[in-house]
Structure 1
C-alpha cells in the first residue's frame, strides 16, 4: 500500500534503496524464508561504512539511509505478529576507534575491542543495553561479549545447542563457537 511504502521510505531519498530491501525482507519472512541477509553500503570506501576519510560525512550519510527502514521493518514485523518469531541482528565485523587517524584525517580506523551490535525480536529481551566500554569508547570493560558468545546466543535463539553443533574440518570435529562460547542469558526474553 502507499502507506507501507511511505513507512519504509520507498520512493524517497536517502531511504529508497534500503527501504525496498527491508520491505522485501518482511515479505520473505511472511513466505517462510528462514534466513535473510541485508547489506547496507557496498562498493568503494565512500559507499561503505568504512569511515577512514571522514566519520561524520560517512556515518552522516549512511545513518539516515537505514534508520527509517529499520524502524519500519521492526514495526511492521511487530504489527503482523512476526517479530517474536523473527530474530533481527544489526552489526558489522568491527567498530571504529574513538579518535581520528591524524591531524588532517578526520576518519577513524578499525576497532575490534569495543563496538555495538543490536538484536531485536526472536526471543531477545527488548529495551536493554548489555555491556559497556571504557570512558574513551576504546574497549569493552563490562559484560564483555566475545564473537563466540554472540554466535552461541544466536544459535540458542534459533533452537540449536552450540555445544552439540559441530562440523568436520581437516580431520576433526570443529565447533562454530570454539571452546569458549557461552550463551548470554541476560539478553534473553
Structure 2
C-alpha cells in the first residue's frame, strides 16, 4: 500500500506498528514484531527499486528512542535515549553503511554521534526541503523546520 501511495504521488506516507515498548518479555515480543517489519520493509525497498522510484523516495525506519542494553527484571529492555538506531534507504543516500557506534556494552556513543536534529536536517536535504526555513504559527511564533541540525555528509557520499 505504501508503494502504491508513493506511485500515486502522495508526498509523505507513514506506516506504524505499535508494541515496541518492550519493558517486559523483550525477546519474544521483538521476534514477533520483526517477523512483521523485516519482510515488509525489505519488500517496500525492493518494490521501489524495481519501479525505479527508490532514488526519488526516502524510506525511514525508526522509533522514538533506543532500548537499554541491560535486561531488566521483567526480561525486558527499558528506554535508552543515549543510543538508538535508524534505517534510511533511498533518495540520494548511500546504502550499506553504519554511521556512529557505541562502546562494547552499548551504554554510550563513542564515535560519530548523530543527534535527532542532524537526522532531520539530513532527511530535509535528501528531500530537497530547506531545513532552516521558518514557518509561523497562527499566533506569529516562528518555528524552524529543523532546529540546530547539521546534514550527516557520510550518509550521502558516493
TM-score over 0.5 for the alignment? yes
Aligned to 2:107: 138
Aligned to 2:127: 158
Contact 1:133 1:141 in 2 (8 A): yes
Aligned to 1:147: 116
Contact 1:150 1:184 in 2 (8 A): yes
Question: 6, 9, 24: which one pairs with 1:32?
Answer: 9
Question: 83, 89, 96: which one pairs with 2:60?
Answer: 89
1:188 aligns with 2:150: no
Q: RMSD of aligned C-alpha atoms? A: 1.3
Question: What is the correspondence of 1:34-183 to structure 2 with a 5 Å cutoff?
Answer: 34-41=11-18, 48-102=19-73, 105-163=74-132, 165-169=133-137, 171-178=140-147, 180-183=148-151
Q: 1:32, CA displacement in angstroms? A: 0.8
Q: State the distance in 2 between where 1:177 and 1:32 align.
A: 24
Residues 17-40 of structure 1: CA deviation (Å, up to 9, x unaligned): xxxxxxx00111111111100001
Higher helix residue share = 1
Q: Of the two, which has the highest radius of gyration?
A: 1
Show structure 1 runs of 5+ residues with no match.
1-23, 42-47
Q: 1:162, CA displacement in angstroms? A: 1.2
Q: State the distance in 2 between where 1:38 and 1:172 align.
A: 30
Show structure 2 runs of 5+ residues with no match.
none
Q: State the distance in 2 between where 1:62 and 1:117 align.
A: 16
